[in-house]
Structure 1
């Protein structure tokens, strides 16, 4: 799975490929490519001492009132998980 986020410390956009198993069952920590800060993405084992975090970044962001957007990639394009927004290859604006 692919994770994209913007570091709040330095405003650098980060994109990482992470293991789905690690995200849902393990621990994931990503290092910002801009400022080298470490971002806790998932702690499903509860090994780190951050009880307010929850299991993953989605839980934490929602508890802080921030929005989380999950995208689904398919053969026909990209859409939001609830299919309310869709981008297909034909939407690129390029005329053939």
Structure 2
């Protein structure tokens, strides 16, 4: 049977994934949370994550041009680009064997 448009999309575990931790900037919230998404959606599609505190959705990546207001008309398609354009620091890291987290600029 055809799938319903309200059914969530699923991804296979073989797709590379990214993880992001951030602090919500909505006034009065300040919730810190971690979210995972596919590398492909971050680099080629759209990623929105929902804050567990205030339930606001935050734009993380838009390579399809749906949210022009948040990406300076598409000039800054990812959260990293958006933060750099505001001269804010972006920290990248990796999760290694044994749960070791390494950060680098």
Give the TM-score band, short-chain normalised: 0.7 to 0.9
Aligned length: 82
Partner of 2:57: 38
Runs of 4+ in 1 over 4 A off after TM superposition: none
Which consecutive residues of structure 2, in runs of 5 or more, have no partner in the other structure?
1-17
CA RMSD between the two structures:
1.6
Which consecutive residues of structure 1, in runs of 5 or more, have no partner in the other structure?
83-96
1:1-96 equivalences under 5 Å are: 1-9=18-26, 10-50=29-69, 51-52=71-72, 54-75=76-97, 77-81=100-104
SS in 1 for 2:54: coil
TM-score (norm 1): 0.77
TM-score (norm 2): 0.71
